[in-house]
Amino acid sequence: MFLPPGFHERSITTSLGKMVYYTAQGEPWESPAAASQETLVFLHGFGGGSSAYEWSKVYPALAAEYQILAPDLIGWGRSEHPARSYQAEDYIGIITEFMEQTCSKATTVIASALTAAFTIRAAINRPELFKSLILTTAAGLAEFGQDYRRSGFAQFAQSVNVPFLNQLLYGAGVANSLGVRGFLEQRQFAQADRVYPEIVEAYVQSAQQKNAEYAALSFVRGDLCFDLSQYITQLTVPTALIWGKGSEFTSPEIGRRLMEMNPQAIRCFYQLDEFGFTPQLEMPAVTLGLIRKFLPMLEKQVVVNP
């Protein structure tokens, strides 16, 4: 796996198995004040080969000021990959367990995509664990009539939901360089020329872990989808939304409508016109700049609409 300098692997035990996470441990990040630093948790989204690598071009720039925790969620990266059909409740529970075991007080979480939607639901259930949320493309993929589960891609995956065919589909279409690059270029990035070899290799390494197909195909079939609009009014944790205009299946209009439903909690919304689903990989410096902008805004609880 690709880790930034000074970051090392640790793990916790969850109800679904071993969950690996990455944190600064040693030069150049350790300092006498490290124990008193605020914590930032970075949670990756889903797709063939997803892992904490997704945020690895952003979080090192914050490591001198914050304690960084960046896990591979269960079923992804170097964490355990139970052979099961995953549901949204599994990941809502896992996020909660991670926060309980690694954070001693309310903590800011930075998350993306479907995982960001799970994080909102975890924050609704356990608001005392969360200080604020900064989320990219936060959608359950079933909002306002735009249900991913009705897409041809999802329905094809549902039609071949047989163990042998699942493995064949995953191996041929996802767990190889060609499949990963195609997904990144066509569905995840707004501009294909921003996909470079290290990104592809990092995703391939994660995609080829034993039993990696279970979580990935649960996502592709739409088993993890839900309508976030049914929950968003219950959110009380201060939140900022970042949205790539070119996000597949989830237009910025979804984010704006979610904000309109709960402006008391969702205090900031920013649209990135030249980015896709994962601006943290496509243009990490811009994403980092927005995180730095939003952190003090949410701390002061000032209502801002950039």
pLDDT grade for 1, boundaries at 50, 70 and 90: low
* Residue 115 exposure: Cα atoms within 13 Å on the Cβ side: 29
Query: What is the distance between the alpha carbons of residues 281 and 69, in angstroms, rounded to a whole number?
Result: 18
Pick the more confident residue, 36 or 84: 84
Strands 146-147 and 142-143: antiparallel
Q: CB within 8 A of 36, min separation 6: which ones?
A: none
Percent pLDDT > 90 in the chain is: 75
Q: CB within 8 A of 26, min separation 6: which ones?
A: 6, 8
pLDDT grade for 302, boundaries at 50, 70 and 90: very low
* pLDDT, position 220: 86
**Contact in structure between 135 and 42 (CB atoms under 8 Å):** no
* pLDDT, position 205: 94
Mean pLDDT value of segment 206-224: 92
Domain 7-300 CATH class label = alpha beta
* pLDDT, position 160: 63
Mean pLDDT value of segment 245-252: 86
Pick the more confident residue, 305 or 121: 121
* pLDDT, position 199: 96
* pLDDT, position 303: 43
* pLDDT, position 33: 57
Query: What is the distance between the alpha carbons of residues 247 and 27, in angstroms, rounded to a whole number?
Result: 37
Q: What is the pTM of this model?
A: 0.93
* pLDDT, position 163: 63
pLDDT grade for 37, boundaries at 50, 70 and 90: confident
**Contact in structure between 229 and 266 (CB atoms under 8 Å):** no
Whether residue 30 has pLDDT greater than 90: no
